[in-house]
Amino acid sequence: MKKVIVLTGASSGIGAATAKALSNSPHVLVMLARDVEKMKAIASEIDCISLVIKTDVTKVEEVNTAIETVVEKFGGIDVLINNAGIGYFDPIDEGKLDEWHTMVDVNIKGLLNITHACIPLLKKSENGHVINVTSVAAHQVFPNSAVYSATKHAVLAISKGLHQELQKDLKVTSISPGAVNTAFVDQTTNQEMISDLKAYFAKGMHPDTIAQQIIYAIEQPKNVTISEIIVRPGRS
Ligand code: NJP
């Protein structure tokens, strides 16, 4: 069944892998992120109807304009994949306030900006579905990632609230990955930690693994909701 799917963080990593996994599907894919060139390159490789819209999820006006554009072009939205996210790792007593604020702005407020714009449309859809990419850090607080973990706990709480209040109108899925080998870890500015972090994440899961979990949640029958998926690297 054809669904209009809005994917944030579509320019790299898990988002890019999800866009590619939707190739040859009957769905319409709307790709949102700030890096348009990267998204266009990904869109050129995929074989379903797609639209790229430059969107910073922290900017309410940009988010609302992007969603209005989707509605004008495609008439509504069925699936929102909240995947955009950022992580900075530091011991808490060395944390940088601007980095903490950015994580809150993107991971929580950005997710809320787009979710707020989409809820009325998802409620109208026969197939309304929110998929939030959170983290194992939503379930466990790891060293050097207290604030990142706090943002992902918030995403999980928002997912649970959406489900509790709107389960008659839409499906809600939380996907909590462990380490995935993407550019995610490159954001960290702590020079003492970066090489160990890179080595650790390089051994993580391939982003296609998470994309497959997202597709699995989307392709369930109408009367089945996958509420939560926790997926960690296995034995290597
Ligand atoms: O990371 P990366 P992942 N407005 O850096 C976008 C979670 N996760 O794919 O705007 C709009 O390759 C950015 O786009 P751009 C993680 O928390 C990961 O690994 O063009 N978009 C890019 O497309 C996150 O929620 C791991 O720079 C913004 C994307 O976000 C999700 O997985 C483990 C933006 C980030 O792509 C995808 O991360 C885990 C903004 N203001 C959870 N800021 C892991 N990789 O190990 C950023 O537990 N983006």
What is the CA(223)–ligand 1 centre distance, in A? Answer: 30
Listed in sequence order, the residues at least 6 apart from 138 whose beta carbon sits closer than 8 Å to its beta carbon are: 149, 152, 153, 155, 156, 174, 176
Please give the pLDDT value at position 236: 64
The gap between the terminal CA atoms of the chain, to the nearest Å, is: 37
Both tokens of 105, joined, read 């702005």
Q: Is residue 5 within 8 Å of residue 82, measured between CB atoms?
A: no
pLDDT digits (tens, 9 = 90+) for 196-210: 999 999 999 999 999
Instruction: Name the average pLDDT for the chain.
Output: 97
Q: What angle do CA 120, 121, 127 make, to 5 degrees?
A: 120
Give the start-to-end residue ranges of the domains of the chain.
Answer: 4-231
Q: Supply the residue whose CA is at minimum distance from atom 24 of ligand 1.
A: 85
pLDDT digits (tens, 9 = 90+) for 85-94: 999 999 999 9
Assess whether the C-beta atom of 87 lies below 6 angstroms from ligand 1: yes
Please give the pLDDT value at position 235: 72
pLDDT digits (tens, 9 = 90+) for 29-75: 999 999 999 999 999 999 999 999 999 999 999 999 999 999 999 99
Map tokens 């989409």 to a residue. 118
Give yes or no: 148 in active site: yes
Assess whether the C-beta atom of 204 lies below 6 angstroms from ligand 1: yes
Assess whether the C-beta atom of 66 lies below 6 angstroms from ligand 1: no
CATH of domain 4-231: 3.40.50.720
Please give the pLDDT value at position 120: 98
pLDDT range class, residue 3, cuts 50, 70, 90: very high
Sign of torsion over alpha carbons 102, 106, 109, 113? positive
